[in-house]
């Protein structure tokens, strides 16, 4: 038996391909092409009637009549039609029975509980309620019979076989403004083979990073060279980095101050062209950058692809913002300090925003991930960004970061990282502001105790899906990752049971393998802090669960990786957490419906919150939470066929693979003393 069914959800497939930056679509973008394809497949099934029993599932009268006529002329009787229970009854009343066409029709009837079948019912309503659906059109008196009986062959010939002109290809998603970043289809064997060939080289290569200055310092100093290891296999040396000295910091500041006016007076279109060229170069070197993200930062293959794509999107996005606009009044020298968890995307996002607005940039990457940032700056220089407009200073925060932020030639700071470091920078700039009698903008994005509130109306299946993604993707190493899950007690047991089952599908391991879902944490210090926290919390947790780590082949291998098991800890009070736990650790707290206000108060009491998730089908609950929670972004899932609606989007961390497409400002101005200040002056 072979069942032939017309596909549904072509809109979802199209949107997914756009988001993933695919070269085209895996489905037809014209309904008529789907109808034609169905008939072609039907012919092939009928032609193989000696070995196949065809089952034609359709509610389309023209499709049914065509198949019936073909089979009758060919003398084929060994086949059947199919329909859904409660649908197509008027059509099949004229098909079954000896007084009619005398063809069998198998009826599919959904069987199960209300909660199991609700999503199925809504899906069928969406499919058959669509304007292009035959079931919908046949009851529409404004649709003529001739229109209903349009021959798919003739209609497809009239279209030239071309895709629908109103549906842009993924590359053209943003029209004339900018090109969408290119993704990689990991289900395509050709793509995998190409990446495998590239990784055979880049998986062994070692890179060397060093300061990139417009002019070398007059005085020479001894520099420190650090080795960069693969966190998934510490014996794998990814490369070496030469850390910047105080003399090099001084030289960079002097060159930046000297060149600031020239770069500000450069035509915005010229600056934009260089950024666009840099985006193209990043895509050309995608395999190398992906390999670096995997080996240096421990990112999984999908996350590494998203890392490069987001960097490309930032370059094109900010380039588009300045084309055709008056030249903004730039601030001067902007210091960009980026994190290790998005070592390319946020690094490039910071500096591209500043460069586009006419500022000169001194970029300091995270100490753990200088190599991929170094390659990005090399490509930006190759694209036409002058070395004096963009200088690169890898090194320690106490030397490079502190030296740059304390200097009067630094006119603004962009920072992403821990709240503690952000506060240090804020205090430094506050002291300078008093001494220099001027405002010094600080644009900072920090983490926090990101929470999700789930009430009893939520669908556990969707809750678990979102929790798995938010808490454990990137090994929980995102500023926006879920840290605390509040479950209303009525659904807590069921949701936790389902969560445990879903976690068992995850695979922890080397991130260069497709089977891996979760890679290592960034370094040994992070690993030990997380393992210590897990051990301490287990003693007081009501219950806990963790995934097993990959079994090492030998004892030496076990000590040369920084994996942390994805862990769920059920605790009683948010106050038990003194600081953000930056890794794959989820804390669960049960609550009573009447205690919702107290839950929100406890979240607000933790300080700054970057994100808050809400799962509820009750508008009053959603409004209540949104009105009281003090967080940067609130994401609401109303549990309606998986639809997610963003509420009160004040800005925040760009999501992997989407970048500025998510909308809102690039960074939350958490510590910026002058909210009106911006990089464009």
Determine whether 510 is an active site residue: no
Query: Are 640 and 476 a contacting pair, CB within 8 Å?
Result: no
Residue 70's nearest CA partner among 92, 88, 96, 44 is 44
Of 288, 367, 445, 653, catalytic: 445
Burial class of residue 626 (count of CB atoms within 10 Å of its CB; 0-12, 13-18, 19+) = middle
The DSSP result for 21-83, as a single string, is T-SS-SS-SSHHHHHHHHHHHHHHHHHTTTT--EEEE---HHHHHHHHHHHHHHT----EEEE
The four Cα atoms 342, 344, 348, 350 give a dihedral, to 10 degrees, of 20
* Residue whose pair of structure tokens reads 């895996």 in the numeric block: 26
CA 306 to chain centre: 7
Query: Are 316 and 414 a contacting pair, CB within 8 Å?
Result: no
Half-sphere exposure of 592 (CA within 13 A, CB side): 2
Farthest CA pair distance, the chain = 101
What are the backbone angles phi and psi of residue 410, rounded to the nearest 5°?
-80, 120
- Residue 353 to residue 343: CA distance in whole angstroms: 16
Distance (Å) of CA 304 to CA 213, 292, 298, 505: 28, 9, 9, 21
Distance (Å) of CA 174 to CA 163, 313, 324, 350, 412: 18, 11, 17, 22, 31
Strands 567-570 and 543-546: antiparallel
Of 283, 479, 510, 570, catalytic: 479
Q: Catalogue the E-assigned strands of 399-554.
A: 410-417, 442-446, 451-454, 484-488, 543-546
Determine whether 479 is an active site residue: yes
Distance (Å) of CA 239 to CA 203, 230, 303: 11, 9, 21
Distance (Å) of CA 442 to CA 110, 205, 353, 671: 58, 37, 14, 6
Helix pair angle (61-74, 31-47), 10° resolution: 20
- Residue 255 to residue 152: CA distance in whole angstroms: 67
SS3 408: coil
Which residues are part of the catalytic machinery?
Answer: 445, 479
């Amino acid at each position: 038996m072979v069942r032939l069914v017309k596909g549904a959800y072509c809109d979802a497939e199209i949107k997914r391909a756009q988001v993933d930056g695919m070269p085209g679509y895996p489905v037809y973008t014209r309904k008529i092409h789907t109808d034609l394809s169905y008939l072609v497949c039907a012919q092939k099934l009928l032609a193989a009637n000696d070995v196949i029993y065809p089952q034609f599932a359709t509610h389309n009268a023209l499709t049914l009549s065509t198949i019936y006529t073909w089979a009758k002329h060919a003398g084929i009787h060994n086949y059947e039609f199919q329909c859904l229970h409660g649908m197509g009854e008027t059509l099949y009343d004229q098909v079954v029975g000896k007084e009619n066409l005398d063809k069998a029709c198998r009826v599919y009837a959904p069987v199960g509980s209300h909660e199991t079948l609700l999503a199925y019912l809504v899906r069928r309503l969406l499919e058959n309620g669509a304007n292009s659906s035959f079931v919908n059109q046949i009851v529409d008196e404004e649709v003529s019979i001739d229109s209903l009986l349009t021959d798919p062959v003739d209609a497809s010939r009239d279209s030239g076989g071309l895709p629908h002109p109103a549906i842009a290809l993924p590359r053209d998603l943003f029209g004339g403004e900018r090109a969408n970043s290119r993704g990689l289809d990991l289900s395509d064997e050709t793509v995998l083979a190409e990446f495998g060939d590239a990784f055979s080289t880049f998986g062994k290569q070692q890179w060397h990073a060093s300061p990139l200055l417009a002019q070398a310092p007059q005085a020479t100093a001894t520099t420190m060279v650090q080795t960069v290891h693969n966190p998934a296999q510490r014996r794998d040396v990814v490369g070496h980095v030469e850390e910047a000295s105080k003399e090099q910091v001084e030289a960079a500041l002097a060159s930046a101050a000297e060149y600031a006016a020239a770069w500000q007076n450069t035509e915005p279109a010229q600056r934009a062209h260089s950024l666009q060229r840099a985006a193209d170069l990043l895509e050309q070197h995608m395999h190398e950058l992906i390999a670096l993200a995997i080996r240096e930062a421990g990112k999984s293959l999908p996350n590494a692809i998203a890392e490069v794509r987001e960097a490309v999107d930032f370059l094109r996005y900010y380039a588009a913002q300045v084309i055709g606009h008056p030249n903004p009044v730039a601030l001067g020298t902007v210091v960009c300090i980026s994190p290790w968890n998005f070592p390319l995307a946020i690094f490039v996002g910071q500096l591209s925003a500043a460069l586009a607005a006419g500022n000169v940039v001194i970029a300091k990457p995270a100490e753990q991930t200088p190599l991929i940032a170094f390659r990005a700056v090399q490509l930006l220089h190759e694209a036409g960004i002058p070395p004096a407009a963009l200088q690169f200073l890898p090194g320690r925060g106490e030397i490079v970061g502190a030296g740059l932020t304390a200097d009067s030639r630094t006119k603004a700071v962009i920072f992403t990282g821990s709240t503690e470091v952000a506060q240090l920078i804020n205090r430094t700039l506050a002291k300078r502001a008093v001494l220099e009698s001027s405002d010094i903008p600080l644009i900072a994005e920090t983490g926090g105790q990101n929470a999700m509130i789930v009430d009893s109306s939520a669908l556990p299946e969707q809750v678990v899906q979102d929790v798995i993604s938010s808490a454990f993707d990137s090994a929980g190493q995102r500023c926006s990752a879920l840290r605390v899950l509040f479950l209303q007690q009525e659904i807590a047991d069921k949701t936790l049971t389902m969560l445990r089952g879903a976690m068992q599908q995850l695979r922890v391991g080397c991130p260069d393998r497709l089977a891996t879902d979760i890679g290592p944490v960034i370094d040994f210090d992070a690993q030990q802090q997380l393992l210590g926290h897990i051990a301490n919390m287990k003693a007081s947790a009501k219950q806990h669960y963790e995934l097993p780590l990959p079994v090492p082949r030998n004892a030496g291998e076990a000590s040369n990786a920084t994996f942390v098991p994805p862990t769920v800890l059920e605790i009683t009070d948010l106050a038990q957490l003194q600081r953000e736990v930056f890794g794959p650790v989820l804390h669960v707290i049960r609550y009573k419906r009447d205690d919702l206000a107290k839950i929100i108060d406890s979240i607000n009491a933790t300080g700054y919150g970057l994100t808050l998730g809400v799962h509820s089908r009750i508008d009053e609950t959603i409004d209540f939470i949104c009105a009281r929670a003090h967080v940067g972004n609130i994401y609401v899932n109303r549990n309606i066929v998986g639809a997610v609606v963003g509420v009160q989007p004040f800005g925040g961390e760009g999501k992997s693979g989407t970048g500025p497409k998510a909308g809102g400002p690039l960074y939350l101005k958490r510590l910026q003393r002058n909210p009106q200040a911006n990089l464009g002056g």
